[in-house]
Structure 1
Amino acid sequence: NSHQGYLQEPLYGESCAALCNRCACSSSYVDYLDNGNNKMAIQQADKLLKKHKDLHCAKVLKAIGLQRTGKQDEAFTLAQEVAALEPTDDNSLQALTILYREMHRPELVTKLYEAAVKKVPSSEEYHSHLFMAYARVGEYKKMQQAGMALYKIVPKNPYYFWSVMSLIMQSISAQDENLSKTMFLPLAERMVEKMVKEDKIEAEAEVELYYMILERLEKYQEALDVVRGKLGGNLSKGLPAHSKVLILFLSCFCFSSDDWQFYMSYFDSIFQLIDSAWTPPAEGEHSPEGEVHYSADQAVMFVEERLAEESKSSRPLRGPYLAKLELIRRLRHRGCNGEYKLGDPEELMFQYFKKFGDKPCCFTDLKVFVDLLPSTQNAKFINQLLGVIPLSAAAEGKLAVPADIKALQQHLCVVQLTRLLGLYHTIDKNQKLSVVRELMLRYQHGLEFGKSCLKTELQFSDYYCLLAVHLLLDMWLEAGEEKAVWQSLTLLEEGLTHSPSNAQFKLLLIRIYCITYSTTPSGG
């Protein structure tokens, strides 16, 4: 593996043929597996394993065949038999990596190479594989540690700056901005300053990282001094370092089509380049590291390519669909209405609901983008969603209810969107009470699906009860309906009998009891 570049990925997706050749598997097995004849490949692997039962690489390659024929459980069991032995031969490690990749279990690759590094602590290759494995799952703290461990073994600048970049990513992903500016970025700054003082800065990317750190710390004078000084001679002219490094970082880490943080960083970076009006040179490469996206057209193409890849994926990925909505939002904010023909947000959200509406995350995904909907279309949008939910055929006077948990999750998502869009706010008192009664009937029906739930688990239909309570609280807080507050207390106490671990029930009860106590004469 070449380690001359920065954040250059070691071997990850080697073909089965190359692996088979190295671990002495039969050529017929190689042909079957690489040509998609997985059943015959499994048969050939079984023949090989009868002669060499301890040939771990062949066992994992059989697991790949099982995985590709839909026998995921058998494949996983077989793979774990090999993984439990903590192999250190490159053939088994690469085969397991391919298998875990196809299973969409990148976290297992980290465990694989953690064990390999413990057994062979001096291996540059295994340490670099471990670093990249952490990168794929966003374990930035462990990336930092792996980068420094690698640098101690092989003191090359790229490995040192892998660790620096990991600190920057920790600062970007930190929930606490103060923590970012008082711990992660200052530590990254000190690490780079150490290399500057020792005159060990060798490459443009190292200077760009330094510039990025100073910029994020708002040390603009120091950043300007870097650009104008000796180190600035290594920078490509005219390209904003912050945006360039982030885009290259994303591409070098094998962009994950389902990683939301990467999409946000990509959009932030490309629009910074657009705002700076940067364009690539007329001749030659955009930068020594490769092509840099710098226009809205490229961002649109990038998202469309991710969607095309998603259509070929073995499992649905939410990221590309949400990225399209995010790009529409950003383009609209810049006054680009319909110019790039990304589609109607209402239709895109409807298609997203049809694909992911049975997931509990669907509501939290879509609520971010409801501002893209015209307010006059809110009721139409909700009815459109309701129209695709499979509810049982209702007898006269009876409520149409979901037949299974997936349909229940879909309906819950729509009810939450209905409240978010303000459709409950416009109805009168009697209509609200009618909605409360309907929600509680749905709540009680949904309890049928949670009969096997443990006391520490939430009931699937808890949100119906919560929404009913919030409607009652609206009536109390907005119109002074005292009866509504006592009814809400009754519903919450009922909810706790079925979901004693529901924190939202408990918090609402505490809130209501505190308010009612403080507003009652003499606190009685």
Structure 2
Amino acid sequence: FFLMPHPDELKIREVFDAIETGQNKVAVKTCNALLTKNSRASQLARVLKAIALDRMGKDHQALEECAILQREVPTNEDVLRKLSYVYRSLNRTDLATVAYENAFNKEPTEELARGVFLAYARELRFNDQRSFSFKLMKQFPKCKQYYFWAAVSYIQQVSSEDLKPGNINIMMASRTLEKIEKQFSITTIEELRFMIYVYELMENYTAALELIEKYSALFKLPGDSQEMRAKLQMNLQNFAQAQQLYRELLVDLKKSNWAYLQKYIECQCLEKPITPEIAEDVLQVLQEIESAGDSSIPNRLVYLGRLQVHHLLYKANSSEDSLNILKNDMATYFKVFGSKPVCFRDVQMFLPHLPSDAAVSICKAYETVVMKESEQSEELSVKAVYRRVLLEKLKTKYKLYENLNNEKTQALVEEYLRIYRAALEIPSALSLKESERQYADDLIVLASHLYIDLYLRNGDSADLVRAIVIATMGLEKSKFNFNIKIVAMRAYCLLGALKPCYELYKTLETKHIQMDTFTHIVLSDAIGLRIPDCTEPIVFGMERFYTDSLREMPELVTYPYSKESYSRAREFRDFNDKISNSVQRAIHHVEYNLSEFINKATPAEAIEDLKFSEEKVLYKEEDYNKLYETADNSFWDDWHSIPELSSSYITSSATTLLTGMERLALAQARGNLLHLSKMILENEPLMAQDFFERFQSAYEKVSFDEVTKPMWHQLLLLFRFLTNALSIIGFLK
């Protein structure tokens, strides 16, 4: 009987369940009941009510509930955490900090003190972090963590441009760390890594090496100590010692790391062309690595290393003999690894740097080998398919299929489809899981590209339809193939068909950070083609991500302190800067708020909405110049043979063919248009004139196509008229 929960606790559980299941109205009703009877859980009930109101989109009411709770000065950590969550959601982290400060002033406990520090961290108030960490050090002198918080805060105060040895904050951080070592000693690898990081910023590499020697027992994984020491020895220009350490990593510890081999060569070349003597030494190391490994499994590092050595020799002397040796190495590499999907990207480290005729001759030599194997083999094998795919990628990349006419394009596509269908009949292909790729899927991508290339040269939309048909056929067998979906989406956008493009986009299940790094492939087209059923889900999905990031990013920034990952603090800060100031985020905010503005029923509603969101919509050129380009185009690296489908094109709209800078100028024009509309509605003639001039300046930087230019010109004339009319009315008044 005495273990039975209190009735108020049962009600609170009901509220939690209601919020978790999306029944926010039920949650608000239950919280109101608890607040009416002034229960002992009233503070928790009020903050849960604020969360439910926030999720219902009632931001102002949620803020009012938080203000009422704030006046009570809650000190319960659970209540404060939830209150902080609501404030972050409403983009008012400053009020969350005030809540923690008031709670600490009321009850100066260690738990609340940590809460205040982390609240400063969420707001990136590095100076306040540092000052408060010293208070913590005085109040709790036996806690080493607070000393590290002070040191990290010193480093966080420094801008990226000022991360230099003589910076006073870096020097103060190093002194704090010296005090920590003297008073507490270093007991974890993370503490050691952070100390080394600070010494590296100071360029005191000798002190960093001494630390590694002193605390070498903290390194648990073999090779970690040698890697750090090698890096520091290179900074000290002790290249012989660094070379020996990298040799130890490669040969003794059997670390097949391409970066180690590159550094080993760098230690000997010292930014000069490679010599035959150095090449001989590196080849000897590669031979030792190969001898120490399993002879039945080819070591990719060894083969790539030989390619790298002979490639550097060719760059140094440009002799025919060096080129022939490199060609032989390339032929050997194709023979051993040509059936591996990674082979194409591997050889891109070398082939693009050779004369075009040499690259073409290597492709043709490989073609001879592949065709001969095909003739001698009675059945198609998986390895044979991969070799043929590699060959076709190389021939496409190095323009052996450039400017094909209709007949040659059709013949090549039919050959690709013949191989693709034959690969489907390979016994192991029949047992592939639904989520796995078919062996010849890349031929589907190449075939689609051939028709897209034809369309870009001839302008016949029937070629786009053929590309889509081929991609659709590939997706029937490989429902989750990313590259096929991307090609189909681009073809649909070129055709002006946003609806099927959006249906494919949905199957990609874009989420989390991909909303910022990946949506560029479709956002510009969604804006240009603008079908509400397609455009709005894309834009609103991004809005959810950016809203969630307001809640999550401030919390992530605190992890280096709460999880004691001090050396990662700078990375978290830089990541926060990028995600908060990305090109994609800026463009999205313009389009989302334009959509919301257009859909408002009355001017009063439109003005109210703009007041809440106008800070998000950038309009100044200098603000756009500070943005980070976070678009990820690495998935497109295999297919750069068509310039219009290379990375730079993917970031722009298929319907308008804008460059990256024009895309920003267009966003700036539309952002100014939004602010201009607000000034007109609020009857502010001077501000309206200023925004119109900004709008016109951005408008003149965009190269509109012949279809959309007349519409934009009419829009410009309309807003010029409205702005002038507003000025005249103001003058008459």
The structure having more radius of gyration, on CA atoms, is 2
Q: Which has the higher contact order (CA 8 A, sep 6+)?
A: 2
TM-score, normalization by structure 2: 0.37
Return the structure number with greater helix share. Answer: 2
Tell me the TM-score normalised to structure 1 length. Answer: 0.50
